[in-house]
Amino acid sequence: MKAILDGIEKVLVYLLTALVALIVAGVCWQVISRYILQAPSSVTEELARFLLIWIGLFGAAYAYKQDSHLGLDILTNRMQGCRKFIATLFAHLCVLTFSVVVMCIGGVALVKLTLDPAQTSAALEVQMGYIYAAVPLSGLLISLFAIEKIINCKQTQVCEQGE
């Protein structure tokens, strides 16, 4: 399972790199077309918005995998032993529950809702379901990474009776 998740992580890095390069190129073209050519491009603003959605969602999955996602660890840093283990396990279970229920199940419902009847974007004329597909896909990735973290969540110290 580790090899598969490491492969997914590498693909995720390449995807994020490509998306960031695309958004930079699109925004640069928007600036050039607006201020130098005096003919603003109609698609670059919408493209940047859609790319930002994908970068944000897939970036969250990558950050969670790397343990660099924003978290409040003021309380857990002061914990030790069994309490820290339980708090860490609880946090990963909460992430798993949220990613499955809200992102995967809710995201699939959102994609279905926008694909039938087809909702299209104004400038790019892309079906919005394809844009919103980032929600269940990133939810799936976060779920896989959460399962890995739950499996690898090891107790650093043996829980004592009094803890």
Place of tokens 């670059």: 44
Q: What pLDDT does 157 receive? A: 45
- DSSP alpha helix (H) spans, the chain: 2-31, 44-65, 81-98, 106-115, 128-132, 134-152
The model's pLDDT over 100-111, given as tens digits with 9 standing for 90+, comes to: 999 999 999 999
- State the first-to-last Cα distance of the chain, in angstroms, to the nearest integer: 33
Across the chain, what does the average pLDDT equal?
Answer: 91
The model's pLDDT over 18-77, given as tens digits with 9 standing for 90+, comes to: 999 999 999 999 999 999 999 988 899 999 999 999 999 999 999 999 988 777 777 888
CB 108 within 8 A of CB 136: yes
Question: In this prediction, what percent of the chain has a pLDDT beyond 70?
Answer: 94
The structure's pTM equals 0.89
> Where does residue 18 fall: left (phi above 0), alpha (psi -120 to 50 degrees), or beta otherwise?
alpha
